[in-house]
Amino acid sequence: MQPQRSAEALRYHKFGDPFEILSHETIALDPPKPGFVTLKILAAPINPADFGRINGTYGKLSDLPGTGGIEGVGEVVETGSNSGAFSIGTRVLFSGKPSSWQTYTLASENQLYPAPGTLDHLQASMFSVNPATAWRMIHDFVTLEPGDWIVQNAANSAVGKLVIQFASQLGVKTANLVRDPDTAEGLRNLGATLVLKDDKEAAKRIQSQTEYSKVKLGLNAVGGNSSLTICKCLSNKATLVTYGGMDRQPAIFPTRYLIFNDLSLRGFWVSEWYRNASRATIEGMHSAIAQKMDAGNIRTDIEATYSLEDWKAALEHSLRPGKTGKLVFNMGKSISTDSIEP
């Protein structure tokens, strides 16, 4: 019989402020049962959703005590008897379950997916959530053709940058709202068509530089007045998809745009999409995204990585304004941005 394995984990025993309730703990893992495997976690990013799940405001919460981290990449190091889906040494993706801010974990084989071989550990750790969110929003709500437009806010976020890159490959133009105009050059280098400061005049500037009938999709991650700006730019019968609320203010959708412009207001939560999609659909999407990323050299920017022991510094860094990329727990070591390939 396989012996118990010890794992380091960032745990919480109640919901609240992560800086107050998270603790770095050592936990014991039983050997995997049939249908389960033991994973060595290789890397796990810090996402905004992680804060929501820990403080108790996310759409689906973990049982207590919980472990932080909503996605990651791991390597199978042990298998239960009768396990056959993944062999030892296989690198796998997971999101939702199990949690990822730990060095080892038990996982059901049904919750794991092969990691794309074209991605390194750091990129693979961020593959399940942000690329899938960008991909599904571009493909699931309206039929976009070359020359059509997407208007989005939070364009400098990880999802925003991926939307720009995927859309550019499809010949779809993007009007991108940002809070810091200094990010414009970087976004244009990714393929952004327009980059504008997210202010009261942004709608007029977008309207003057786009073809109204072709502005078919709006993507809202901010809420508040920014969502109203997007509404003003959309063509008749266009769709506005809300997938975040960074401003923590109600999204503004005036009645006139629903009546006279016949806009459709939709929401998107990638975790719910995963829960409802078949394994074949999920693996097909993963394959398509990986091919696009490989062919177009598309990557998620990484600002820095941290060890699990330095979790407080990592979380503080993730909340700083003006970041250029994601923060990732690299379970092996911390590395500076100078050593991360673009």
CB 41 within 8 A of CB 139: no
Burial class (CB in 10 A: 0-12, 13-18, 19+), 6: exposed
Q: Max alpha carbon distance in the chain (Å)?
A: 70
**Backbone angles phi and psi of 319, in degrees to 5:** -95, -5
Active-site position among 12, 58, 104, 113: 58
* Closest to 146 measured CA to CA, from 104, 193, 184: 193
From CA 301, how far away is CA 12, in angstroms rounded?
29
* Closest to 220 measured CA to CA, from 180, 149, 268, 188: 268
User: What residues contact 20, with CB distance under 8 A and at least 6 apart?
Assistant: none
- State the residue for tokens 């309207």: 207
| 3-state percent helix, strand, coil for the chain, nearest multiple of 5 | 35, 25, 40
58 in catalytic set? yes
From CA 148, how far away is CA 238, in angstroms rounded?
11
**DSSP structural state of residue 116:** P
From CA 266, how far away is CA 244, in angstroms rounded?
12
DSSP line for 284-342? HHHHHHHHHHHHHT----EEEEE-GGGHHHHHHHHT-TT--SEEEEESS----GGGS--
- State the residue for tokens 């056959």: 84
DSSP line for 87-115? -TT-EEEEESBS--SBSEEEEEGGG-EEP
From CA 59, how far away is CA 288, in angstroms rounded?
28
Give the residue numbers marked as catalytic: 58
